[in-house]
Homo-oligomer: A and B are copies of this chain.
Amino acid sequence: MARLVALYRVPNDAASFDKYYFETHAPIAKKIPGLRKYEVSKGPVGTPGGPSAFHLVATLHFDDLAAIQSAFASVEGRAAAADMQNFASGGADLLMFESGEV
């Protein structure tokens, strides 16, 4: 299994971000081929010491890294990536990795 984690930094307007994310971006992202599961943080993204620099964390599950690479190359994946500029005003970090249970 592999994960694509999108770490969205605190945006200029959190309410607008949330509205766009759930009403527009998530439906686009859900069309990405090979996506097995799509998890999104609910409420604040904290640290043990208090607030974090992040507003939202999305975790997309795929079978393996090859599936993530195929997803990025797909029409649907390119649409989801391009859509990020429409709402991620604080920027975002994308991390991708194979994952296993320990």
Contact = CB atoms under 8 A, between A and B. Distances in A.
5 contacts: A7-B95, A30-B102, A41-B99, A45-B97, A46-B96
Interface of A: 3, 5, 7, 22, 26, 30, 37-48, 52, 54, 57, 59, 65, 72, 81, 93-102
Given A54-B95, A57-B95, A100 B40 contact: yes
B39 A100 contact: yes
Task: Kindly report how many copies of this chain are found in the complex they form together.
Answer: 2
A22 B57 contact: no
B97 A44 contact: yes
Contact of A101 (B39, B65, B96, B97): B39
Nearest to A5: B57
A37 B26 CA distance: 26
A85 B34 CA distance: 38
Contacts of A40: 99-102
A11 to B, nearest CB: 16
